[in-house]
Structure 1
Amino acid sequence: MQLSKFIISLILISGVGISAQADIHIIPRPEKVEIKKGTYKLTAKTVVISNEPTQKEANYLSEILEKAYGIKPEVRAKGEGIKLVIDPLLKNELGEEGYRLLVQSKSITIEGGTNTGVFYGIQSLRQLLPPEFEFNPDKKKTAVIPLVLITDKPRFPWRAFMLDESRHFKGMKAVKNLLDQMALLKMNIFHWHLTDDQGWRIEIKKYPLLTSIGSFRKDTQAARRSEKREGIPHDGFYTQEQIKEIIAYASERDIQIVPEIEMPGHAMAAIAAYPWLGVLGTTTEVPVTFGKMDDSFNVADPKVYHFLEEILTEVLALFPSKVVHIGGDEVTFETWKNSAMIQALIKKEGLSSPADLQIYFTNRISQFVDSSGHRMMGWNEILGDNVHEWQDDANVQVKQTLAKSAIIQFWKGNLELINKAVSNGYKVVNSYHAQTYLDYNYKTIPLTKAYSFDPIPEGLDPKYDSKILGLGCQMWSEWIPTVQKMNLQIFPRLAAYAEVGWTIKEEKDYSKFLGSLSKLEKRWDLLEINYHKD
């Protein structure tokens, strides 16, 4: 340890640029770093230099500095200080999200081709500072930053974290805290799983029973394959005003929220509220158990399509995101096979199987979503492939072709299914469950395994690399009832997935990631965020 510090000191004294690897502890690891001789001293007198185009970023940075010093810094149009600059020409070099961070002895310059690039430069600056910098405000505080030039951009445009709140509602404070950590780690998609069998968590004005009935369940299964119950009811939902507040909070952190409204399966909370939506006609209460359920939306009933279109109309009007997730996983086809109404529709439309009917249904939803200027996304069952060991092959004989505008979120099945999807023209987000599910314990997915995940599967023809949008990591909450337990599952693996999504493969280094992680963990300690410790 002492020898490495001595070598670094020699390099700094010489003023020679070195690559990202010395004492610059930033997650995700930047693409290129050059360290020079000398330091910049950040004090309470440091000002922010910003013009109107970077006003949002200036306000954000001012709030960070106020946490450190107890007073907001002055924001000026000219002078020396921390300069925020948008240079559209940088988009050619760094894309929409890249940035350049230059620390000199008299000033710091953060520039990007877009506001997002500038915002991410601020996140890297934050990580150059001591973990305790943003805590315990003190006007006399001084932070020393090495003179450095960082040039950085992400490997993938889709770097997502998914939170399931249907099974266990966590609330606005928890969501905002997660958005803060996502922003620090340059993750840009918050995938919000808001509806499922065990709870409907989003207010829909047209259908108030979805929340007055569908957000409440009488009890909760205590463990897998167990008849034991927790013995207490569970409920909670977000009003549209609360969702707008969270959307605005995310937008300030350059995070896009992709809502998920499950269909045609995982719909029993909605069916409990409006029983005519279901196939069985027996669902009148929100389930208290987890797993694959029997009932689903009755896709043979025209009234169900009208209901779903009205739901999506409110959702699409609420969320600025151009992508809406419709789920589409784990439909119980045996229920469809036993429904005379559904079998009549299959015969009428000349369909070959329940999976063929699901594609027919999904295409109708996709057409509606497309017509509103948005794009539909779903789990990879929407392609009609057999991805489950319990599924009868006869149920997944398909003639229909899924709409090409659909984005596929791959979570289960043979990895060859990704090759098949991209070669057929689909964009794919890789969320392979065995490597990205945060509800899995650390024995199943240790930090090393999370870090080693590559969204581009081995053997994929390089001509299809651009079809892989990136990755998602998923926090399913069936067995994760509390925020404390949730954080234990998420952290520190979220940092590993952030680096998977951002850092080019040539710059990834697990041992150096761990060195940077120790600094990040000190921040989590100060924030009282529970995280897993090896």
Structure 2
Amino acid sequence: MKSVNLLFTFILLVVLTRQASAGIGIIPRPAHVVEGQGSFILTGEVSIISGNATRPEAAYLAGILGKGFGKKISVKNKGLGIVLKLNQKLNNELGNEGYRFSSRKHGIVIEAAGNSGIFYAIQTLRQLLPAGFEFRAQPGQEINIPVLEISDRPRFQWRAFMLDESRHFKGMEVVKNLLDQMAMVKMNVFHWHLTDDQGWRIEIKKYPELTKVGGFRKNTQTSRRSEERTGVPHGGFYTQDQIKEIVSYAAQRHIKVVPEIEMPGHAMAAIAAYPWLGTLGTTNEVAVTFGIMEDSYNVADPRVYQFLNDVLSEVFTLFPSGIVHIGGDEVKFEAWKNSQMMQEMMKREGLNTPADLQIFFTTRISNFIDKNGFRMMGWNEILGGNVHEWQKQEDVKVEQTLAKSAIIHFWKGSLDLVQKAVSDGYDVVNSVHSMTYLDYNYKSIPLSKAYSFDPVPEGLKEEYIPRILGTGCQMWGEWIPTVDKMNLQVFPRLAAYAEVGWTPKTAKNYEDFVKALASLKERWTLAGIRFYEGIE
């Protein structure tokens, strides 16, 4: 009888937790929620109680509450109100990003092992406030915060949004707004695609032509396989001071910025700036069309390695995330096969295929990145293997081994490649294109499909699951020239991917997610963010 009672109690707790979680409408859905009776009445007279260690988060919360109440909110060392408290004992249970949120009739207590957890609990509190709270200051208003007990932590450590600005430059204010929206839904990695064939967007002081020449193109293709062009130049780039400002802005929101500096392919903007970098010897202007280009860095030339080391050395000073993404995808090997210099290098180094040559190059870059205290990340072509129908099978056979420190960013090919990567000792971020590419239309990836994605491949052995670091959603910019169109592609799917990355698989529920989305949609409307309103 005792075991039956315990089972009944457990089932009742699960049901109550699920109902409460569905009722409060937080995205991403918390792991565990228990709703009590009554509420805490929040007014502009509330104080935030914080020690020195949580003062940055206290100031952030004070700014949010100040907007809604139309007055300055006090931050104090002691007292009642909204208490922010670091508690290292929670680390084993909730990790650095998890938190406990306890709202009672007399106040709110937020506890976490790390500052990130405090910050994410504040995002939970924000979503308990009226959607219009931060947009319409109403002095004297009262807000009822329901009595709740929340214990929450993310499922994955890597919850990313990628913005491609090489193809279409968007600018600092757009990036900051995206960071704000990421923070609201507890995403923690901004993957910033800054260089490609169609534009170089980051100032490198040693090589000023990269932005002077590589940052601008004369024209732009308007649609796939079309001869139509916009007829106007396009360009722009970020100075190093602007990069630092964005990185700092992201850090205040507990988001790390991971730059992507493409190599050895997708490099025509750099080659246009410094033609000696290229393999073909014919590239002298930034690409105005999109797709997979023939030219790439001449990885047999020692000057190319020195150039890339110099570029990366400046990149290291700008991005404290500890990770640099080097792309590594979609290299066309014909130019390498036709290059005498490249063939001589392959013979000298005992490399049998172009894919082996790419791994040789990538490992050399990885070793340089490692020596500087960073870690390399790249798309899954950096492991070799054939993931493209246009690649010749004999060109992609590999004998070389990539450095084990590399993070593999899976985007294309059989899921068996993920299985092999993790079993070979690599960490993987799963961003398979058919489930996570935001430039795909809603017919290809409806909201429900985005929400259904599981970064852990079905059947993956339990021992390898920790090697799946998480997932990212990618906003490729070839055919997305305007901010308005970009927002339409990003929202509301960003919220779905946020819940994929954060919420335990057993706690997810699409119907509840759609209901909770109504509040975020109201916020986006008030913020002037266009979002897709179709029904899936």
Alignment of 1:362-401 (within 5 A): 362-401=362-401
| Deviation per residue, 1:467-520 (Å, 9 max, x gap) | 100001000000000000000000000000000000001100000000100111
Q: Which residue of structure 2 aligns with residue 473 of structure 1?
A: 473
Question: By how many angstroms is 1:453 displaced?
Answer: 0.3
- Kindly tell me: are residues 384 and 394 of structure 1, through their superposed partners in 2, closer, same or farther at Cα, counting changes over 3 Å? same
Q: Which residue of structure 1 aligns with residue 416 of structure 2?
A: 416
Which letter does structure 1 place at the counterpart of 2:174? A
Which letter does structure 1 place at the counterpart of 2:313? T
User: C-alpha separation between the residues in 1 aligned to 2:224 and 2:245?
Assistant: 35
SS of 1:513's partner is: helix
Structure 1 regions of 5+ residues with no counterpart?
A: 1-15
Question: By how many angstroms is 1:260 displaced?
Answer: 0.4
SS of 1:451's partner is: helix
Q: Which residue of structure 1 aligns with residue 246 of structure 2?
A: 246
Normalising to structure 1: TM-score of the pair? 0.96
User: C-alpha separation between the residues in 2 aligned to 1:493 and 1:302?
Assistant: 44
| Deviation per residue, 1:262-307 (Å, 9 max, x gap) | 0000000000000000001111100100000010000000000000
Q: Which residue of structure 1 aligns with residue 521 of structure 2?
A: 521
- Kindly tell me: are residues 84 and 278 of structure 1, through their superposed partners in 2, closer, same or farther at Cα, counting changes over 3 Å? same
SS of 2:219's partner is: coil
SS of 2:140's partner is: coil
User: C-alpha separation between the residues in 2 aligned to 1:117 and 1:427?
Assistant: 24
Contact 1:40 1:106 in 2 (8 A): yes
Deviates more, 1:423-432 or 1:63-72: 63-72
- Kindly tell me: are residues 18 and 497 of structure 1, through their superposed partners in 2, closer, same or farther at Cα, counting changes over 3 Å? closer
User: C-alpha separation between the residues in 1 aligned to 2:487 and 2:174?
Assistant: 9
Alignment of 1:500-511 (within 5 A): 500-511=500-511
1:177 aligns to 2:177 (yes or no): yes
Question: By how many angstroms is 1:20 displaced?
Answer: 3.7
Question: By how many angstroms is 1:19 displaced?
Answer: 5.0
Q: Which residue of structure 1 aligns with residue 103 of structure 2?
A: 103
Normalising to structure 2: TM-score of the pair? 0.96
1:74 aligns to 2:66 (yes or no): no
SS of 1:481's partner is: coil
User: C-alpha separation between the residues in 2 aligned to 1:417 and 1:125?
Assistant: 40
Between the two proteins, what is the percent identity of the paired residues? 64
1:261 aligns to 2:261 (yes or no): yes
User: C-alpha separation between the residues in 1 aligned to 2:303 and 2:206?
Assistant: 14
Q: Which residue of structure 2 aligns with residue 159 of structure 1?
A: 159
1:44 aligns to 2:44 (yes or no): yes
Question: By how many angstroms is 1:22 displaced?
Answer: 4.0
Q: Which residue of structure 2 aligns with residue 229 of structure 1?
A: 229
Which letter does structure 2 place at the counterpart of 1:431? S
User: C-alpha separation between the residues in 2 aligned to 1:341 and 1:247?
Assistant: 40
User: C-alpha separation between the residues in 1 aligned to 2:502 and 2:229?
Assistant: 42
Q: Which stretches of structure 1, 4 residues or longer, exceed 4 Å deviation after superposition?
A: 16-19
C-alpha RMSD over aligned residues: 0.9
Which letter does structure 1 place at the counterpart of 2:275? P
Contact 1:20 1:31 in 2 (8 A): no
Contact 1:283 1:295 in 2 (8 A): yes
Question: By how many angstroms is 1:21 displaced?
Answer: 3.1
Q: Which residue of structure 2 aligns with residue 312 of structure 1?
A: 312
| Deviation per residue, 1:42-85 (Å, 9 max, x gap) | 11101111110100000100110111122220111111111101
1:334 aligns to 2:323 (yes or no): no
1:89 aligns to 2:89 (yes or no): yes
Which letter does structure 1 place at the counterpart of 2:165? E
Contact 1:20 1:30 in 2 (8 A): no
SS of 1:131's partner is: coil
User: C-alpha separation between the residues in 2 aligned to 1:399 and 1:37?
Assistant: 64
SS of 1:39's partner is: strand
1:402 aligns to 2:398 (yes or no): no
Contact 1:17 1:36 in 2 (8 A): no
Alignment of 1:278-289 (within 5 A): 278-289=278-289
Q: Which residue of structure 1 aligns with residue 512 of structure 2?
A: 512
User: C-alpha separation between the residues in 1 aligned to 2:161 and 2:138?
Assistant: 34
Question: By how many angstroms is 1:135 displaced?
Answer: 1.3
Contact 1:359 1:383 in 2 (8 A): yes
Q: Which residue of structure 2 aligns with residue 23 of structure 1?
A: 23
Contact 2:300 2:342 in 1 (8 A): yes
Question: By how many angstroms is 1:18 displaced?
Answer: 6.8
Alignment of 1:109-188 (within 5 A): 109-188=109-188
SS of 2:183's partner is: helix
Q: Which residue of structure 2 aligns with residue 495 of structure 1?
A: 495
SS of 2:21's partner is: coil
Which letter does structure 2 place at the counterpart of 1:97? E
Question: By how many angstroms is 1:17 displaced?
Answer: 7.1
Structure 2 regions of 5+ residues with no counterpart?
A: 1-15
User: C-alpha separation between the residues in 2 aligned to 1:460 and 1:34?
Assistant: 32
Q: Which residue of structure 2 aligns with residue 440 of structure 1?
A: 440
| Deviation per residue, 1:223-250 (Å, 9 max, x gap) | 0000000111001000000000000000
Q: Which residue of structure 2 aligns with residue 457 of structure 1?
A: 457
| Deviation per residue, 1:192-251 (Å, 9 max, x gap) | 000000000000000000000000000000000000001110010000000000000000
Contact 2:260 2:325 in 1 (8 A): yes
Contact 1:105 1:147 in 2 (8 A): yes
SS of 2:234's partner is: coil
User: C-alpha separation between the residues in 1 aligned to 2:248 and 2:141?
Assistant: 32
Which letter does structure 1 place at the counterpart of 2:381? E
Contact 2:17 2:32 in 1 (8 A): no
Alignment of 1:209-228 (within 5 A): 209-228=209-228
